[in-house]
């Protein structure tokens, strides 16, 4: 039976489809209004023309983006490496980092920075660097779409130039890397991170326990056994060196991004899409550069293995694809969604759902064997499954379901019903998980193979992040990277804005900025503010000057049209 004629349980699917249709119409209406408002101020993209080697115009645009992005990366490096920078935490050990050592304790954990430490200038440099890097990425993406067929190796060289400064900066915008090393230290001494938190090492044992986020110091690990086994091996290879461990985890992140860079173009070609445009969108976006590489997050390794598995499955190697995706799931569990999609699409498009169950079970069995083998080899048992509950301990308004629960708890407390925050958080987070599961099943059911399947898995990953119990900015890279080869039109525009906004989340605390403003030289403050304002505003001035007359003309035309309509109609 074909996909078009297969039967669906009407009592379940029709209400869901009607509701989804209403939501899509509302979203389309909002996007249309936004496009109408923004259209006069956008620079129109040129008509796509085939790439011509040694074209001087293309070379000039490519060179400009390469230099702009590299300058942005250098400024981010300089800003984050200042002794009082709030963007990175650096140990006080003499061998803790290449440069930019800070006196303990660091301002990121609540201590006022001393005067004269360039705190404010580090913020200006970091923001200016981010603005330059974002502009360069947008321009490079436009260049790739205007000239399809450009060799990926050209963009690889630009990517290398942008990435080099991030190899020398301390872990950015997060202390997760120190948690990895603390858990690796535990593994090297045969202490299970699924039974104990890093506190077991003792506060004076090494700087990683001091720099590990206090929220996770007593919490068992939520990461898979493959990653923890790798962390233990790293600690033994570097002989428990602090700097060596951090450098190795950055190498792991680079390896994950390299896998994305190799297999995203192959995935794009398999769907008949431009490989270079997909590479620029997936690999060179600010979330990957600043958060995954700069922050040394294991999400890079998870995504790299996941993309590699999906690409190989697409190239008719489903068994190898399932094995790689299972390994990705042994780093972070959400990657196992890829196993479901490989099994669902194993026999190709246009297959009745009943015939998909056998390959789906086959893919699940292969993944289970791989997971059991790795778990047994590492010797930690299945305690990692219980560790998945640990992110629930984080209460942040950044996560939508948590924010709803916290707001409801405050309202309940305000009317005198007591503290019901735990109960309400459980309810809202459970509702979010249920909604994410339903949406994921609907997307899987509606996927018809080909690009629709990759779009479905990318959207599912985004939904899992948004409706999950905890949302970190870099988690959204899961969906952005997977959607890169197939995102078009409004979806692509929405993902671009999402990447830009997400990159700005989690930056320095404003209270330290206030302290530094009070202590810093007013002239330096004024010059830094002017530089930041110029980088953000000056590029928009020509567009605003051109767009305002167009916007006024459209408003006048709309007003005349309304006046011409008879009052009775």
What number of residues does the chain have?
Answer: 569
For 96-105, the CB contacts below 8 A with 24+ separation are 96/207, 96/242, 96/243, 97/170, 97/243, 97/246, 98/168, 98/243, 99/168, 100/169, 100/170, 104/210
Cα separation, 101 vs 558, in Å, equals 60
479-516 confidence digits (pLDDT tens): 899 998 988 877 888 888 888 887 776 554 445 555 55
Do residues 84 and 102 touch, judged by C-beta distance below 8 A? yes
pLDDT digits (tens, 9 = 90+) for 183-204: 888 888 888 888 887 877 776 5
The reported pTM is 0.81
Ordered by start, the domain boundaries in the chain are: 56-394+470-520, 395-469, 523-556
Which two three-digit tokens encode residue 456? 């479905």
The model's pLDDT over 42-80, given as tens digits with 9 standing for 90+, comes to 555 566 677 777 788 888 888 988 999 999 999 988 888
pLDDT band at 292 (very low <50, low <70, confident <90, very high): very high
| Beta-bridge partners for 172 | 88
Contact 197, 393 (CB under 8 A): no
Q: Tell how far CA 142 is from the center of its chain.
A: 21
**160 or 562, higher pLDDT:** 160
Mean pLDDT of 110-136: 71
pLDDT digits (tens, 9 = 90+) for 366-375: 999 998 888 8
Residue 172, helix vs strand vs coil: strand
Q: Which two tokens stand for residue 380?
A: 């930690």
């Amino acid at each position: 039976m074909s996909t078009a004629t297969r039967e669906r349980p009407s009592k379940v699917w029709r209400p869901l489809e009607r509701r989804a249709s209403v939501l899509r119409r509302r979203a389309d209406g909002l996007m249309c209004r936004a496009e109408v408002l923004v259209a006069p101020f956008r620079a129109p993209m040129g008509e796509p023309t085939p790439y011509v080697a040694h074209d001087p115009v293309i070379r000039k645009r490519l060179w400009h983006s390469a230099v702009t992005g590299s300058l942005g990366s250098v400024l981010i490096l300089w800003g984050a490496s200042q002794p009082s920078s709030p963007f990175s935490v650096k140990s006080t050990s003499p061998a803790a980092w290449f440069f930019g050592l800070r006196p303990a304790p660091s301002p990121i954990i609540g201590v006022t920075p001393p005067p004269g430490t360039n705190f404010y200038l580090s913020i200006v440099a970091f923001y200016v660097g981010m603005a330059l890097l974002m502009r360069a990425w947008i321009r490079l993406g436009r260049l790739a779409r205007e000239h399809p067929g450009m060799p990926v190796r050209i963009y690889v060289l630009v990517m290398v130039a942008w990435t080099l400064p991030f190899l020398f900066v301390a872990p950015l915008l997060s202390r997760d890397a120190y948690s990895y090393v603390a858990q690796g230290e535990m593994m090297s001494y045969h202490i299970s991170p699924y039974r104990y938190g890093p506190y077991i090492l003792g506060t004076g044992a090494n700087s990683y326990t001091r720099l590990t986020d206090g929220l996770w110091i007593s919490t068992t690990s939520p990461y898979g056994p493959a990653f923890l086994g790798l962390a233990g091996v790293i600690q033994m290879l570097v002989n428990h060196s602090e700097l060596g461990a951090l450098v190795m985890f950055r190498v792991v992140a680079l390896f994950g991004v390299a896998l994305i860079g190799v297999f995203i173009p192959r995935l794009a070609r398999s769907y008949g899409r431009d490989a270079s445009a997909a590479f620029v969108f997936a690999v060179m976006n600010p979330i990957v550069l600043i958060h995954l590489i700069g922050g040394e997050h294991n999400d890079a390794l998870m995504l790299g293995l996941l993309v590699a598995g999906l690409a190989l499955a697409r190239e008719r190697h489903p068994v190898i694809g399932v094995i790689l995706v299972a390994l990705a799931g042994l780093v972070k569990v959400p990657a196992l969604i890829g196993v479901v999609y490989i099994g669902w699409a194993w026999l190709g498009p246009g297959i009745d759902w009943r015939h998909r169950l056998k390959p789906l079970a086959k893919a699940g069995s292969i993944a289970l064997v791989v997971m059991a083998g790795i778990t047994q080899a590492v010797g930690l048992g299945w305690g990692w499954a219980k560790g998945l509950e640990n992110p629930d301990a984080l209460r942040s308004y950044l996560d939508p379901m948590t924010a709803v629960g916290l707001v409801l708890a405050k309202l309940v407390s305000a009317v005198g019903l007591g503290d019901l925050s735990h109960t309400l958080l459980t309810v809202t987070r459970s509702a979010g998980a249920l909604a994410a599961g339903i949406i994921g099943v609907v997307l899987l059911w509606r996927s018809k193979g080909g690009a629709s399947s990759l779009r479905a898995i990318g959207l599912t990953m985004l939904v899992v992040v948004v409706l999950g119990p905890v949302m970190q900015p870099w988690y959204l890279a899961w969906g952005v990277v997977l959607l890169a080869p197939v995102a078009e039109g409004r979806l692509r525009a929405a993902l671009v804005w999402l990447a830009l906004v997400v990159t700005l989340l989690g930056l320095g605390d404003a209270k330290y900025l206030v302290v530094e403003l009070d202590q810093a030289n007013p002239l330096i403050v004024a010059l830094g503010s002017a530089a930041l304002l110029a980088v953000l505003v000056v590029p928009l001035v020509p567009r605003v000057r051109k767009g305002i007359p167009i916007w006024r003309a459209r408003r006048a035309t709309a007003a005349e049209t309304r006046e011409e309509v008879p009052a009775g109609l």
